[in-house]
Chains A and B, each alone.
Chain A
């Protein structure tokens, strides 16, 4: 992993550690400043808790997509640049299904099948929120996962399977090609405009969580589904033969093949799990953000990559932790910097952490 230090091996390590100390002390200063601001009342606890909550929600979305990316990264050994567009695919496919189901008898099929590309139906008309059209939204969730799986498998068959032994960079370049094809096929069918897809979330008044009296149902759904899927994935990977095979393949593909692990089948299942999670992530992003454009996933891609790299490629727990860190970083950094620079903070954090831990925070333990 790490470039071998040559004659300066020892001093290189010291430099990395020196850098690590610097970053940690920088983070420490920021935390102290945060405490100071809260204590002296520059920053209300309410505002901070909103930042943290939104960071958690964003982080969970990123984590879901990042887990999918991390799995394919570990098994197929390449950085899949089409991951962002798989997110978009899931979102469009799922919400199209939701619109079609909700639009039966209410709206014109020609309008719902293209997710309102002709601006003929509106989310208001279909009552597109969790209490307004629960069945449609559930159907959409399933379709989002299934459609993304199908698309990913199709591209695996058409592109990646022919290049299994080609090495990381050629596969990465091919995946950029796949990303372009996917994104602009979406544009071909659905058009370029950003559309409002769902209505704003209904809220429930409660006394469960302390920082806010009303809970956004859509955010809560996202959190429940996201955490549920992650726990299920954890169980699947830890306690089934598939998980063991995947870990074996991530470690050494040739050895796994010799041991009798059906590698092509594991790859197939990896795509199914990874793409399914990615599609669900795309679907849930729209549930939370309410809008969708063909660029939605592409803009998330670098954040997803940041999460995966932060956590260490191949480690699903790393991806989850990385996603949460990135989500929190993009939101809590609002305390210090303007809103249009939050992604800069996240990317800079990723680059800095890579300097002192080139294989990520959880790197080296490939658990997926």
Chain B
């Protein structure tokens, strides 16, 4: 586990936090009256990350000369992506951060949720027919199906050591994706009911985003009718900023997603602080000890794996399933690695870190480079040589512009190099991520003060949190 490796960082903070600790003294760590409550602190940290990402995009948007509608729309897309990532990252944090289950099959469980919903809600007379049931039935079915598939994968996987477990979960996710991709499920019938996933073509079903946002925004879900009580403030802000209805609808859906993230955050934090959560952390720290204390760790692991899979299925539904169209390519293994990078940026083991990591990853690393590319394309007139060779030849003639133009054109691909480099740098220099040092210990009371003085300093020095 990454936590085993003590890495010193943030040298600048060291002396400061050491002073702070001296002032607090070793005895009053539980009675620190001046400290903000932890949840408020968490909200402040998430708020800071949001401000940073929004600031960058507003700045870039102004530089690109976008109007208010464009900027608000960009912010909406970034927030939507960040909230979607946050939902999955929180679920993965439950698996890996809390329990130490190295699950790299996240995309597969998302696919199960999304496809089940699609099959349940798609109209019976569509090209690839479904059951035609209402959306909420579809969502519930998706969650149940993710839990069941999670159970099936957990059974063989939990008996294996960490790296085998990783490969088995990845293989299971690929099996799921390849099955949905297969022409065998293109159209099939179960008990006389015609169903179809469309194989590689993907399948259509009622648009989740539009349905949800219109249902909330307008009376009876009808865009020509007046706004509901919930929709009124949105419409008012929209009118004031002269936003198009689609942007307002997008924001409504985004707010729903953010609410889901808040819900998941509260649920997972509460689980983490419960006796069940302590068992999870005990398994993470040393499964043998937990077993020796008479805990049925197999059952606990299966339960937590299923629970995490439910959240992953939910994320698959509300994120990849929101457009009313899915195909197997939305669930490639690379999605899992996005989630992992976000979790590692934030620091595994910390729910706040998960949300912050999701925000920073989605905003700065994922959406950032293509946005920069669009701005550069719009502002400067760079040549676009077809291959890097032409750029290199021009560089030989002391003209760096073609090579630069080629690189800018390749920015959407180069960002994957950036992802890799960030991942490597984090693993080498900061395996705990931004907030990973806050991962909660398995014991109900804070044991950090009982450690050797050297380690104790390290634990505080990482972030200088008063409530550590």
284-311 of chain B: CB within 8 A of chain A: 287-288, 291
**Which single member of B164, B168, B178, B428 contacts A343 (CB below 8 Å)?**
B178
By a CB distance below 8 angstroms, the chain A residues around B413 are 184, 187-188, 192
Is B390 within 8 A of A110, CB to CB? yes
Is A340 within 8 A of B420, CB to CB? no
**Bound CA span A251–B432, Å:** 30
**Contact status of A355 and B167, CB under 8 A, knowing A169-B102, A176-B423, A341-B179:** no
**Bound CA span A176–B428, Å:** 13
Is A178 within 8 A of B156, CB to CB? no
Is the interface on chain A under 10, 10 to 19, 20 to 34, or 35 or more residues?
A: 35 or more
CB distance from A217 to the nearest CB of B (A): 32
**Contact status of A344 and B179, CB under 8 A, knowing A78-B163, A173-B340:** yes
Flag the segment in B9-17, B53-61, B69-77, B180-188 that touches A. Answer: B180-188
**Bound CA span A114–B391, Å:** 12
Confirm or deny: A338 has a beta carbon within 8 angstroms of a beta carbon on chain B: yes
**Bound CA span A163–B184, Å:** 45
Is B423 within 8 A of A302, CB to CB? no
Q: A338: nearest residue on chain B (CB-CB)? A: B184
**Contact status of A302 and B170, CB under 8 A, knowing A163-B427, A338-B183:** yes
**Bound CA span A176–B288, Å:** 29
Confirm or deny: A170 has a beta carbon within 8 angstroms of a beta carbon on chain B: yes
**Which single member of A117, A165, A182, A348 contacts B175 (CB below 8 Å)?**
A348
Flag the segment in B272-280, B318-326, B381-389 that touches A. Answer: B381-389
**Bound CA span A110–B394, Å:** 12
Confirm or deny: B337 has a beta carbon within 8 angstroms of a beta carbon on chain A: yes
Flag the segment in A1-9, A31-39, A196-204, A275-283 that touches B. Answer: A1-9
CB distance from B439 to the nearest CB of A (A): 15
Is A169 within 8 A of B2, CB to CB? yes
By a CB distance below 8 angstroms, the chain B residues around A176 are 337, 340, 420, 423
Confirm or deny: B160 has a beta carbon within 8 angstroms of a beta carbon on chain A: yes
Confirm or deny: A305 has a beta carbon within 8 angstroms of a beta carbon on chain B: yes
**Contact status of A177 and B167, CB under 8 A, knowing A170-B431, A338-B182, A344-B178:** no
Is B390 within 8 A of A181, CB to CB? no
Confirm or deny: A40 has a beta carbon within 8 angstroms of a beta carbon on chain B: no
Is the interface on chain B under 10, 10 to 19, 20 to 34, or 35 or more residues?
A: 35 or more
Q: B200: nearest residue on chain A (CB-CB)? A: A340
**Contact status of A167 and B416, CB under 8 A, knowing A113-B389, A118-B387, A351-B168:** no
Confirm or deny: A347 has a beta carbon within 8 angstroms of a beta carbon on chain B: yes
**Contact status of A351 and B172, CB under 8 A, knowing A166-B427, A174-B424, A177-B419:** yes
**Bound CA span A6–B340, Å:** 32
CB distance from A298 to the nearest CB of B (A): 9
CB distance from B35 to the nearest CB of A (A): 32
Q: A342: nearest residue on chain B (CB-CB)? A: B178
Is B183 within 8 A of A340, CB to CB? yes
Q: B410: nearest residue on chain A (CB-CB)? A: A188
Confirm or deny: B171 has a beta carbon within 8 angstroms of a beta carbon on chain A: yes
**Bound CA span A334–B156, Å:** 26
Is B156 within 8 A of A354, CB to CB? yes
By a CB distance below 8 angstroms, the chain B residues around A306 are 171
By a CB distance below 8 angstroms, the chain B residues around A305 are 167, 170-171
Confirm or deny: B5 has a beta carbon within 8 angstroms of a beta carbon on chain A: yes
Chain A interface main SS type: helix
**Contact status of A110 and B420, CB under 8 A, knowing A341-B184, A351-B156:** no
**Bound CA span A178–B387, Å:** 24
By a CB distance below 8 angstroms, the chain A residues around B156 are 351-352, 354-355
Is B160 within 8 A of A354, CB to CB? yes
Confirm or deny: A316 has a beta carbon within 8 angstroms of a beta carbon on chain B: no
**Bound CA span A196–B410, Å:** 23
Binary per-residue interface labels of chain B (411-440) against chain A in the complex, 1 for a CB within 8 Å, 0 otherwise: 001101101111110011001000000000
**Bound CA span A337–B183, Å:** 11
Is B171 within 8 A of A351, CB to CB? yes
Confirm or deny: B137 has a beta carbon within 8 angstroms of a beta carbon on chain A: no
Is A173 within 8 A of B390, CB to CB? no
147-171 of chain A: CB within 8 A of chain B: 158-159, 162-163, 165-171
Confirm or deny: B159 has a beta carbon within 8 angstroms of a beta carbon on chain A: yes
Is B175 within 8 A of A188, CB to CB? no
Binary per-residue interface labels of chain A (113-136) against chain B in the complex, 1 for a CB within 8 Å, 0 otherwise: 110011000000000000000000
Is A344 within 8 A of B175, CB to CB? yes
Is B420 within 8 A of A179, CB to CB? yes
Is A4 within 8 A of B4, CB to CB? no
**Bound CA span A185–B419, Å:** 12
By a CB distance below 8 angstroms, the chain B residues around A144 are none
**Bound CA span A344–B436, Å:** 36
**Bound CA span A183–B334, Å:** 12
Residues of B in contact with A (beta carbons under 8 Å apart) = 1-2, 4-5, 102, 156-164, 166-168, 170-172, 174-175, 178-179, 181-184, 199, 287-288, 291, 337, 340, 344, 386-390, 393, 407, 410, 413-414, 416-417, 419-424, 427-428, 431
In the complex, the 10 A-B pairs of residues with the closest C-beta atoms, listed nearest first: A180-B420, A177-B423, A181-B420, A177-B424, A184-B416, A174-B427, A347-B171, A177-B420, A355-B156, A184-B417
* Apart from A114-B389, A170-B5, 15 more pairs, CB < 8 Å: A3-B160, A166-B2, A166-B427, A168-B163, A177-B424, A180-B417, A184-B413, A187-B416, A188-B414, A340-B178, A340-B183, A344-B179, A351-B172, A354-B164, A354-B168
Q: List 5 A-B contacts (CB under 8 A).
A: A3-B159, A118-B386, A166-B5, A305-B167, A344-B178
